[in-house]
Amino acid sequence: MGTYFGCIFLIFHLILLNSTLSGLAIGIGVPFVIHVTNRFRETLLVAPNPVEALKQL
């Protein structure tokens, strides 16, 4: 019985940790993608083609 509650306690904390880390990853990743996309669009105005624009990033 104690092992059962110990496993539930461990799984609950892993789920809580996973959801926290997932939220942080999304919170950091979305602004980064927006920044890179905007930078690519700015570079694309100057570079002759998309491959050269990616090389300049």
For the chain, give every domain's residue range.
2-56
Asked if residues 54 and 40 have their Cβ atoms less than 8 Å apart, the reply is yes
Tens of pLDDT, residues 10-53 = 666 667 777 788 888 889 999 999 999 999 999 999 988 888 88
The DSSP result for 16-53, as a single string, is HHHHHHHHHHHHHHHHHHHHHHHHHHHHHHHSSSHHHH
DSSP 3-state assignment of 12? helix
pTM check: above 0.75: no
